[in-house]
A and B are shown apart, each in its own frame.
Chain A
Amino acid sequence: MKALRNYLDKIKPNFEEGGKLAMFRSVFEGFESFLFVPNATSKTGVHIHDSIDSKRTMTIVIIALLPALLFGMYNVGYQHNLAINANPGFWMTFIYGFLAVLPKIIVSYVVGLGIEFTVAQWKKEEIQEGFLVSGILIPMIVPVDTPLWMIAVATAFAVIFAKEVFGGTGYNIFNVALVTRAFLFFAYPTAMSGDQVWVRTADTFGLGAGQVVDGFSAATPLGIAKVATTATPEYPWSFNDMVMGFIPGSIGETSVIAIAIGAVILLFTNIASWKTMFSVFIGGALMAIIFNVAGPDTATAHMPWYMHLALGGFAFGAVFMATDPVTSARTETGKYIYGFLVGAMAIIIRVLNPGYPEGMMLAILLMNVFAPLIDYYVVEANIKRRLNRVKVK
Chain B
Amino acid sequence: MGLLSSKNKEVLAGPLSINNPVIVQMLGICSALAVTSKLEPAIVMGISVTVVVAFANVIISLLRNTIPNRIRIIVQLVVCAALVTIVSEVLKAFAYDVNKQLSVYVGLIITNCILMGRLEAFALGNGPWESFLDGIGNGLGYAIILVIVGFVRELFGSGTLLGFQVIPQAFYDMGYVNNGLVILPPMALIIIALIVWYHRSRNKELQEN
Contact = CB atoms under 8 A, between A and B. Distances in A.
Interface of A: 147, 149-150, 153, 161, 183, 186-191
B177 A186 contact: no
Interface string B169-189: 000000111011110100000
Contact of A161 (B176, B177, B190): B190
Given A186-B181, A189-B180, 18 more contacts: A147-B175, A147-B177, A149-B175, A149-B176, A150-B177, A153-B179, A183-B181, A186-B180, A186-B184, A187-B179, A187-B180, A187-B181, A187-B182, A188-B177, A188-B179, A188-B180, A190-B177, A191-B177
A98 to B, nearest CB: 23
Contacts of B177: 147, 150, 188, 190-191
B97 to A, nearest CB: 26
Contacts of A153: 179
A307 B79 CA distance: 62
Contacts of A147: 175, 177
Contacts of A187: 179-182
21 contacts: A147-B175, A147-B177, A149-B175, A149-B176, A150-B177, A153-B179, A161-B190, A183-B181, A186-B180, A186-B181, A186-B184, A187-B179, A187-B180, A187-B181, A187-B182, A188-B177, A188-B179, A188-B180, A189-B180, A190-B177, A191-B177
Residue with the greatest number of chain B CB neighbours at <10 A, chosen from A147, A161, A183, A187: A187
A173 B164 CA distance: 39
Contacts of A190: 177
Range of interface residues on chain B?
under 10
A187 B187 CA distance: 10
A159 to B, nearest CB: 14
Contacts of B184: 186
A213 to B, nearest CB: 25
A189 B182 CA distance: 12
Contacts of B180: 186-189
Interface in B165-209: 175-177, 179-182, 184, 190
A122 to B, nearest CB: 13
Contacts of A161: 190
Contacts of A188: 177, 179-180
A214 B7 CA distance: 77
Residue with the greatest number of chain B CB neighbours at <10 A, chosen from A147, A150, A186, A191: A186
Nearest to A191: B177
Contacts of A186: 180-181, 184
Contacts of B175: 147, 149
Contacts of B179: 153, 187-188
A161 B184 CA distance: 16
The 4 A-B residue pairs with the shortest CB-CB distance, nearest first, are A187-B181, A186-B181, A187-B179, A187-B180
A189 B157 CA distance: 13
Nearest to B186: A186
A191 B182 CA distance: 16
A226 B179 CA distance: 25
Contacts of B190: 161
A187 B177 CA distance: 9
A274 B181 CA distance: 35
Contacts of B182: 187
Nearest to B184: A186
A105 to B, nearest CB: 20
B152 to A, nearest CB: 14
A149 B172 CA distance: 13
B183 to A, nearest CB: 9
A337 B122 CA distance: 51
Contacts of A149: 175-176
Nearest to A184: B181
Contacts of A189: 180
A153 B181 CA distance: 12
